[in-house]
Structure 1
């Protein structure tokens, strides 16, 4: 059985539901309440489908390309670490993705579903936390359930985005995003070290 709390926190860090709120508000500016709800649901469904695909087929694709999972784990840990550093020291998720909205067509798919909810870090996490050699089918289903729970939380926050944003503001969302980045950096280092151990033990 997986560690539900650790897995939930991991996905909370890489998906960052709080950081999605300013992005959602920017994307849906000018829409009525019904349209906002529809955009939130569509974005959540698209993100969930994409992440489930990576959880189910990610390792299969790596095997087909002849890439050892340990190598992907090391690379994934490094990428997640760099992603975490960008959350801590660079533009936070709200700042960066709200800027993307201003520069691109405002749609539910981009940047809301991808990369705001289904971020590169979340895609990597889905593959790393459903490794066939480390987790059985039941444990993988538990991991996917935790990921979907975080997406459901993200959907609920989007549905009450205006109220939440009034409370925390962009500054609050930025602070939370940076704290999540620190947690993610620790997890990333752990994954990279586990990959090195797995690779050199063979």
Structure 2
């Protein structure tokens, strides 16, 4: 549970959540928090149950999943940095509660990979129950953090939200680059290990 908490980082989602929902009223922000949490819970639960089968069926590596998530986050970060996320015409084209908030921010590659590994390494059915409980508790905490982060909106006001949006864009870009770099390094290590094996 601690590992999943660190990966999903409920406090860390606050600045990005506020940046994405800063132009919404209180009711819309609360609805976005609920939708994002439920989507993340559904995605994480799905990969906990069928993650290995899905990856095997599609013939993809976990590193590819990380790279794809990183690219998607990088696009969102660029929108935040350029101010396009504040454009109502841009916001109307998609539901930010689902993408990028629900996935890949909450139900991101790191959380998905961690849950798949937890399930693979669980020695008994009792451990499956603990994993399920951890997933539910973490998402409950995430919802509470987002639900009551609206208090910051009253303090920061419009100008503060705009500054926070740019900061969140930088942080999100850094997370995206890290995901892509990890994916590239995974492939480099795989290539080196296969090259070493063929040399023998």
Mark the CA change 1:156 to 1:112 in structure 2 (over 3 Å): closer, same or farther.
farther
Computed over aligned residues only, the root mean square deviation of the Cα atoms, in angstroms, reads 4.0
Say if 2:15 is the partner of 1:18. yes
TM-score w.r.t. structure 1 length? 0.63
Give unmatched runs, 5+ long, in structure 2: 123-127
- Identify if the C-alpha distance between structure 1 residues 2 and 104 changes in structure 2 by more than 3 Å, giving closer, same or farther: closer
1-structure distance, mates of 2:4, 2:45 = 21
Counterpart for residue 3 of structure 1: 3
TM-score normalised by L of structure 2:
0.63
Q: Which runs of 5+ in 1 are unaligned?
A: none
**Cα separation, 1, equivalents of 2:110 and 2:120:** 14
Rounded to whole Å, the distance in 1 between the matches of 2:154 and 2:187 is: 42
Q: Secondary structure at the match of 2:79?
A: coil
Shift of 1:75: 1.0
Q: How many residue pairs are counted as aligned between the two chains?
A: 184
The runs of at least 4 consecutive aligned structure 1 residues that moved more than 6 Å come to none
Matches within 5 A, 1:1-202: 3=3, 6-9=6-9, 16-28=13-25, 35-36=27-28, 39-40=31-32, 42-56=34-48, 57-63=50-56, 65-67=57-59, 71-86=60-75, 90-92=78-80, 95-99=83-87, 101-103=88-90, 105=92, 110-120=94-104, 122-132=107-117, 135-136=121-122, 137=128, 138=130, 142=134, 145-146=137-138, 148-157=140-149, 159-160=150-151, 162-166=153-157, 168-194=160-186, 197=189
